[in-house]
Chain A
Amino acid sequence: MSLLSNAAVLLGKELRTEFRSRELLTTTVVFILMVVVLFSFTFDTSSAESKRFAPGLLWLAFLFAASLMLQPCFLREQNNDTLSALRLSVSDPFAIFLAKLAANTLFLLLTELLMLPVFSILFNVPAGPVVAPLILVFFLGSLGISVAGTALSAISAQARMRELMLPILLLPLLTPVLIASAEATAALLDPAHAFRKDWVGFLAIFDVVFLTAMWLFGEYLLEE
């Protein structure tokens, strides 16, 4: 069975279990909502300076939420040692990563799209005219977070102090994604609605590099 068909079967399992329990989506949406609301109380959202900070704050909220969301990604597979069953069943272990990566990106993107109108209202930033390029930036940023986060989740699941390990490893690694996503989002939400190809290109390159690394070394991350 091919890599892609194995990954599709596993993605189906990830989606079914999440949409059945809604554990990750609910927790992440509530977390981001709280952070965005608290930020809106902390800053004067009517000032121009605050609007400059807002995209960075939004991506910080996404990043913290992602570190919560990615934590159980491989940890859940340890309950009944289901990761071993998956490793015995797939022809290429990259299929396991691919399915988890796709699921994490989808969940994160869904959460971000749900939060966009709330952010837009609370920070008085009209996002309507730039929704399409904004979705592209959200997708590339989420993919970057998920690709690094999924790999680190596999590592941290086998480590001691695993709950602390993932954010400690993930947040510094994702600083470039945070900067690029925040800059690209800020430019789009600016009254000039500029599409910054340089930052968007940087995000795409980050995603490709990390995806390739995961494809090359993923198998070793799953070993005992």
Chain B
Amino acid sequence: MIEPASAPGIRFDKIDKRYGGLYALRRVSLEIAKGECVALVGRNGSGKTTLLRITARLARPTSGTLAFVGGIPGHDSQLAPVGFVAHATMVYDELTAEENLLLFGRLLGVPEVSTRVAELLREIGLYDRRTSMLRTFSRGMRQKVAVARALLHRPAVLLLDEPATGLDSVSVQWLARTLKQLRDSGCTILISLHGESEISALATRAVRLDSGAVVADSATGGSAAAILNSSVSG
């Protein structure tokens, strides 16, 4: 399904993010290799969402630098296509599922957008409801459209903020399958999670944040499973 063209790695160098006097992120330095699937864990307010929004370039760090590294030689990896599934669905309730995906597909310049939209709607099991307004959908159905929106342009970097929110067990399995395909095809994935799940099992690495700082990273010590477990108990 997914053929990410030029997955780059991501380098965070001493990233700070302050809101007034409050630190959301403190000196975060991470090197995520191309094609890695990293689970970000931590309590509410630990800085996971802020880190994802900075990676998506929706927020600027107060200090420090973020760089996409690698990708296809000759292509600017800073312009690598990024897909983002946020905690909010980022889709319009007053448009139909098909209209939403066509809108974002056209903005992203997806080739043969109608075919791609139909393909994604079939994959998420909402093709028969494609002409229904999103406001008539359940939270789980809207979340599926949100995931489809993020996958429209076959992103090289995929960021997901608690993507299983509102999904039933069948949909979580679908999401896990989709993410596995993406991971196996070389897409760089960063997922914020709460504890272990079918989705966390896909992670090749786990990073724990606490009060905006990286306090554990399976790349430098400890297993990913141990860090994911500690986030459940912590």
Contacts and interface: CB of A to CB of B under 8 A. Distances in A.
B201 interface: no
Interface stretch (A80-88, A133-141, A153-161): A80-88
Interface of B: 53, 56, 58-60, 82, 84, 86, 88-95, 99, 103-104, 106-109, 149
B58 A87 contact: yes
Interface stretch (A6-14, A58-66, A110-118, A142-150): A6-14
A86 B92 CA distance: 11
7 contacts: A9-B106, A80-B90, A80-B92, A84-B88, A85-B90, A86-B107, A90-B107
Given A16-B99, A80-B91, A89 B58 contact: no
Contact of B107 (A10, A16, A20, A79): A10
A15 B12 CA distance: 41
A13 B108 CA distance: 15
Contact of B103 (A13, A20, A88, A224): A13
A82 B90 contact: yes
A82 B59 contact: no
Interface residues of A, number: 22
Given A9-B106, A84-B84, A88-B58, A21 B53 contact: no
A85 B86 CA distance: 9
A212 interface: no
A216 interface: no
Contacts of A81: 86, 88-90
A21 B149 CA distance: 24
Contacts of B108: 1, 89
Given A10-B107, A88-B82, A16 B149 contact: no
A156 B38 CA distance: 36
A223 B60 contact: yes
